Amino acid sequence: MRVTSQPPQSSPNSAPLDPWTGGPGPASPPGRPGGAPASRTGGIVTLALVACTAVLLGVAWFLSGVFGSGTVLWLGALAMVPLALCLLGLRWVDRWDPEPRALLALGLLWGAGVSVAGSLLVGDVFMELFFDPAGGLEMDLFGAVVQAPIVEELAKGVGVLLVFWINRAHFDGPIDGIVYGGIVGAGFAFTENILYFGSSYADPGAPGELATVFVLRGLFSPFAHVMFTAWTGFALGLCAAAGRRGRWPIYLGLGLVPAIVGHFLWNGGVGIFFADFLSFYFLLQVPLFIAAVIAVILLQRGERRLAEQRLADYRGAGWFTDAEVAMFATRAGRRRARRWAAGIGRGRQMKQFTSTAMNLAAVRQRIVAGHASGADVARETALLHQSHRQRAQLLAGL
């Protein structure tokens, strides 16, 4: 499918950037007034952020009533260690085409507040409905291997689905889904860690228990919940990439199955499948984590190749040069472009220019795949003209 829009008439003051030669390429003007379409979802995101913050404050008040406010504060600081590890890992996953911070904050707040509150409220109801005292599982074991995986993954999955519904422009592929699912899981793990740390700290008969729990949960397995819920996000990302958003219940269900199974294996691995934690950790959890990292790397490579293909459509229509496509769609090109922009004090402008190009690649992919909306077509045109203005700002005075 060809790009129907054409660049505006040329102007000597705005030329495509060529960081390899240090000079401009063929003339390309800033275009007509206008910009990327204003977000119609900003109000919804703001409302959701406020609501999730209120719920998180309620959870904090509940925890303070159980453990004491001072204890919750320093246990929260302790729980920040695994949370920081999770956020660094997700930043690595999301480094190529970063998601909007407001949506990431929404996912984190949902996980830390709403998911935890929902799990606590629904968990007891689930136990009353499904636990059979005459069955083969004791109540504690049933709660760990049945109730927790199902209820908690459902509570977290709703948060991923919320982001999926709110902003289709920034949730259009598997990597996006992994990031949003992971951020919800990281938030949930943060609050759950406070609960576990608090329970072990409050047990006077188990000296050193807090240190043990911190090592096992905070250092050995900080990414457990991230990996579980990433499956849900991955499936919804496939749904978006296939242009089948109306079939989200099917994809959501497909994502929840491995999320619940992974959660079940984590909670019940020791005692059901393995005799000790170290065997379980090194024979199952570590290989699964390595496999997940390899899968993400392969998905990132596919995302880069796809971005290069879609931006090449604009190159053929005269919107970008060969140098710019390589600058946006290859790691080496981005490194050179960042160094070039930093050298002239315009790193922020280069970052904005690159972000617009990646948004264009995503919109173009939806158009080429045949499942774009009228809003996508309008967004493509606006982003193209925005890219010309950003180029002009980047090169002004050079």
The per-residue DSSP string of 129-151 comes to HH--TTSSS-HHHHIIIIIHHHH
Do 394 and 352 share a structural domain?
yes
Element (H, E) at 18: strand 17-18
The model's pTM: 0.90
- The predicted-structure confidence for 10-49, as pLDDT tens digits, reads as follows 433 444 555 444 444 444 443 333 333 445 678 899 999 9
| The one-letter amino acid at 214 | F
pLDDT the model gives residue 365: 92
Are residues 323 and 269 part of one domain?
no
For 190-220, what is each residue's pLDDT tens digit?
999 999 999 998 876 666 789 999 999 999 9
Cα distance between residue 74 and residue 92, in whole Å: 28
Q: Which helix (H) or strand (E) element contains residue 336? A: helix 331-343
Q: Which amino acid is at 5?
A: S
Low-confidence ranges of the chain (pLDDT < 70): 1-40, 204-207
Separation between Cα atoms, residue 129 and residue 349, nearest integer Å: 57
Residue 114 · residue 106 · CB < 8 Å = no
CA 201 to chain CA centroid, Å, is: 32
pLDDT of residue 7: 52
What residues make up the domain containing 222?
Answer: 46-273
325, 239: one domain? no
> Could you tell me if residue 139 is inside a domain?
yes
- Could you please report the per-residue DSSP string of 220-233? I-TTHHHHHHHHHH
Torsion of CA 127, 129, 135, 137, to 10 degrees: -20
Q: How far apart are CA 244 and CA 371, in angstroms?
A: 8
* Total number of domains in the chain: 2
End-of-domain residue from the set 214, 241, 273: 273
Q: Are 88 and 142 within one domain?
A: yes
Residues present in the chain in total = 398
- Does residue 203 sit in the same domain as residue 153? yes
pLDDT attached to residue 371: 84
CB hemisphere CA count around 11 (13 angstroms): 13
